[in-house]
Structure 1
Amino acid sequence: MKRQPLRLAILEATRILEQAGVASPRTDAELLAAHVLGVERGRLPLIPLVDPPVIDAIGQLVAQRAKRVPLQHLTGWAALGNITVSVGPGVFIPRPETELLLEWGLNLLKGRELPVVVDLCTGSGALALAVAHERPDAIVYAVDNDSTALAWARHNADARAELGDTPIRLYSGDVGDNTIFAELDGLVDLVLCNPPYVPPGGELPPEVIDYDPAQAVFASEGGLAVLRLAVATAARLLKPGGGLAIEHDDSHGTAAPAVVSARKVLTDVRDHQDLTGRPRFVTARRA
């Protein structure tokens, strides 16, 4: 069997994905090729020729991606910060937009020894685990009310612990329960939250509508219901000088800061844009 140029396979994959309406066809084509070859994406130029079975394997994954199966479901992982976590059916896929929220939280923790961090609506555990990776001295708590998400989070937490990261403390609970983490009231340095926030009926790509669990995407009250609960919990948990960072829909650039500002103990309320320049997360400090 004659070896074939990898470059041509990637070009063909890019064409197929572009026709299918995939948002980042070249990137996805390269990531799928790297996945099949078991190499990092940056090493693809060092592999000029591949065997026909490799071409076939790439083609099969590209066909699935063209049907709008999420890239992360095909590769089995998603990145956040300097870690990767396992993802698949039943758990929300971490997004690049959350990188800036994570960065804000880590900056807040600079100079704080043994900080206490709480990740509300943890899903796959990505935010909590990314913090634990960067701050081995932190005591990181994470909570979710969905058993499937918690199973993914537990798997990811165990995997990160095996790699040497500080274990996180994972709990089942609802962000609206005013007794959740009651023992931490007034003791927390940082609360992070990426809640469900899309208004019901919002237009979303097939990768989200068909694959992300609805309870992790949509929220009532125009998308603000869970955000309100998370803000109330954060106001209770934070110590003076502690910080809150919570992600929101790009239509909530005014509404989300207003919800936070309504809590008089939360000050220095600011909204932040994501990598595409859209309103994406709000931050505050505990007075």
Structure 2
Amino acid sequence: MDSLRSLSRDSKLPRLEWQMLWQHVLQVPRAWLIAHDTDPLAPEALARFSDLQARRLAGAPMAYLLGRREFMGHDFEVSPAVLIPRPETELLVETGLDYLKGRAAPRVLDLGTGSGAIAVSIALACPAATVLATDLDPDALAVAQANARRLGARVEFLRGNWYHALSGHKGFDLIVSNPPYIAAGDFHLQEGDVRFEPIAALTDGSDGLTALRAIIHGAGPWLAPQGALLVEHGWDQAQAVRQLLRQAGFKQLASLPDLAGIDRVTGGIYN
């Protein structure tokens, strides 16, 4: 009967990915795999692994195969209904948390929440905050709500497109968003994990600035005096985003680089 040791000799995947998939199939830690590498494997486990391996070899993201991705020190459930949380988006959360320091009971809005990674991370790091999160996609909201429940974060989720989801909610100290900002036809849409992610969460089908324009120009009425807006954007969009913020009446504009040195988050203060 097949064992992990016998199967490892003919593995078509990098060893780390092979081990991660087996840990997922068997629901065991890595140490168990090593200690039990000669144990016979059940037919259903072999079939499950074979399916996952085939999908991975076809390019499916590991995050979707495992159903989770780490972000800000927390494990978030993910599915093809939501973008996979990425390290560069942690800059958006960290910058937002820096802005909230010293505020007794801040109000925070996350637009286009997806998996809920941004909203949930802020709520966990700043438990005194009132955090609202919106998304148009009910499947994405279901993922976000499940993450908030599992991680014990207090977040109110609303369905709707950007500010259209809000009713009776104003006076936000901070609005954050990681909207679709890839321009239609950008070659990045045909590469890597992006090929498997929800297209509407990646691109506006136009110049990549449609959602950013709507969020920036619509923010004023929803912000408290001296409220801040922070958005994630593409590698070449910082100047355009600063211009949009300036046109919308924001001051103290700043763009911050990610770990690769690319301006990734831009924001400003309103009024």
Tell me which interval the TM-score lies in, with the shorter structure as reference length: 0.7 to 0.9
Aligned partner of 1:225 in structure 2 is 210
Query: What is the match of residue 121 of structure 1?
Result: 112
Q: Measured at CA, do residues 45 and 96 of structure 1 come closer, stay the same or move farther in structure 2, by a change above 3 Å?
A: farther
Matched letter for residue 199 of structure 2: A
Determine the C-alpha separation between the residues in 2 that align with 1:195 and 1:119: 10
Q: 1:277 to 1:63 in 2, by over 3 A?
A: farther
Distance in 2 separating the partners of 1:77 and 1:90: 13
Q: Which runs of 5 or more structure 2 residues have no equivalent in the other structure?
A: none
> 1:169 aligns to what?
156
Aligned length: 265
**Percent of counterpart pairs with the same letter?**
34
Q: Following TM superposition, by how much is the alpha carbon of 1:26 offset from its aligned partner in structure 2, in angstroms? A: 6.2
Paired amino acid for 1:53: L
| Cα shift readout 1:67-115 (whole Å, capped 9, x = no counterpart) | 1111111111122213222221322222222111111111111111111
Q: In the alignment, what sits opposite 1:20?
A: none
Is 2:91 the counterpart of 1:100?
yes
Alpha-carbon distance in structure 2 between the residues aligned to 1:53 and 1:46: 11
* C-alpha RMSD of the superposition: 2.8
Q: Distance in 2 between matches of 1:109 and 1:196?
A: 25
Q: CA deviation at 1:237?
A: 2.0
The 5-angstrom pairing of residues 61-210 of structure 1 reads 61-160=52-151, 165-175=152-162, 177=164, 180-181=165-166, 183-185=168-170, 187-203=171-187, 204=189, 205-209=191-195
- Equivalent residue letter for 1:171: L
Letter in 1 for 2:41: P
* Equivalent residue number for residue 21 of structure 1: none
Residue range with higher mean Cα deviation, 58-67 or 97-106 = 58-67
Equivalent residue letter for 1:134: A
**Structure 1 residue 275: Cα displacement:** 2.7
Structure 2 residue aligned with 1:251, among 233, 236, 239? 236
TM-score by length of 1: 0.80
Mark the CA change 1:113 to 1:198 in structure 2 (over 3 Å): closer, same or farther. same
Partner of residue 279, structure 1: 263
CA–CA separation in structure 2 for the residues paired with 1:44 and 1:120: 40
* Greater mean alpha carbon deviation, residues 91-100 or residues 231-240: 231-240
Aligned residue type for 1:226: A
Q: Is 1:268 the equivalent of 2:262?
A: no
Following the alignment from structure 1 to structure 2, what is the Cα–Cα distance between the partners of residues 111 and 259?
28
Q: Is the 8 A contact 1:125 1:153 kept in 2?
A: yes
Q: Which amino acid aligns with 1:32?
A: L
Q: Which runs of 5+ in 1 are unaligned?
A: 18-24
**Structure 1 residues 217-242: Cα deviation after superposition (integer angstroms, max 9, x where no partner):** 11144100001111123333222333
Report deviation, 1:190: 1.3
SS at match of 1:111: coil
- Partner of 1:244, secondary structure, is strand
1:35 is aligned to 2:20: no
The one-letter amino acid paired with 1:208 is V
CA distance in 2, matches of 1:236, 1:276: 34
